[in-house]
Amino acid sequence: MAKAKQPPIPAEMLPKHIAFIMDGNGRWAKKRGLPRSAGHIEGAKNFKKIVRYCKDIGIENITFYAFSTENWKRPEDEVHTIMNLMREYLVEVRKYFTENTRMIILGDKGAFEPDLRKSFEDLEADTLKYQEMNMGLAVNYGSRDELTHACRALAQQVKEGKLQPEDITEDMINGQLYTKDMPDVDLLIRPGGEYRISNYLLWQSAYAELYFCDTLWPDFSKKELDAALIEFAKRNRRFGGL
């Protein structure tokens, strides 16, 4: 299918899955003398811009780290702002992006207030049939938590006598993850000047190319994404071979 925008690298070289860590919202706000919440509001705006751009250039799978299992420890008003941004987005997304975009929530939805949980579930169910792009939103997500759930689910099958421990394969573990319908991460992008993965998609990123930059997330532009894609295209991916 013709793409709305020409990607900066040949389409066949595009990563099949880009994972974003949206870091630096708080510092963006602080630099401007604004409350941290203002940084998240600006970060959410940028998130929508980058999702749209990824769709336009033909990226098939994208995932965004919006809220980690550890982020509940933040001040109540900050958590409240992020939850409300999600609420707004869940309404807005129905009008704009869902065309042929499947929304997948990565994370344990059980911790959210009932209205938010239901909105997440409805959005997933209502977009299940869309195939042009998978858009993963990681909320109350932690990779170790995800892998713990996967272990429990397989252990349960062993307990019930449906599975032998020695028959457990990597594919079976993969099949228990929130990303089970997505390919592995090819490119992981973290703006915000920190050089770590912070418990994000650890299994899925085993062979991902990592791209770090100092720009704070609200300022991370389409141009910077182009630069990351150009860098990605230059990398020599060997997946453990020669």
Catalytic residue among 56, 71, 108, 199: 71
Q: According to the binding rule CB under 6 A, does residue 52 interact with ligand FPP? A: no
Among residues 20, 47, 120, 232, the one that binds ligand FPP under rule CB under 6 A: 47
Q: According to the binding rule CB under 6 A, does residue 71 interact with ligand FPP? A: yes
Q: Which stretch binds ligand FPP (CB under 6 A): 36-44, 114-122, 128-136, 200-208?
A: 36-44
Nearest CA-CA partner of 225 in 24, 26, 47, 50: 50
- In angstroms, the CA 212 to CA 70 distance is 22
C-beta neighbour count of 94 within 10 angstroms: 15
Q: How far is the CB of 100 from ligand FPP (least distance, A)?
A: 20
- In angstroms, the CA 132 to CA 196 distance is 30
Nearest CA-CA partner of 58 in 21, 136, 6: 6
Q: According to the binding rule CB under 6 A, does residue 44 interact with ligand FPP? A: yes
Residue 10, phi then psi, degrees to nearest 5: -55, 140
Q: Which stretch binds ligand FPP (CB under 6 A): 6-14, 21-29, 198-206, 227-235?
A: 21-29
- In angstroms, the CA 1 to CA 77 distance is 44
Tokens 């089970």 belong to 180
**71 annotated active-site:** yes
Q: How far is the CB of 118 from ligand FPP (least distance, A)?
A: 17
Q: Which stretch binds ligand FPP (CB under 6 A): 8-16, 38-46, 203-211, 226-234?
A: 38-46
Residue type, 18: I
- Minimum CB distance to ligand FPP smaller for 37 or for 179: 37
Burial, 238: exposed, middle or buried (Cβ in 10 Å; 0-12, 13-18, 19+)? exposed
Q: According to the binding rule CB under 6 A, does residue 136 interact with ligand FPP? A: no
Residues that bind ligand FPP (CB under 6 A): 22-27, 40, 43-44, 47, 66, 71, 82, 85-86, 89, 137, 192
Annotated catalytic residues are 23, 71
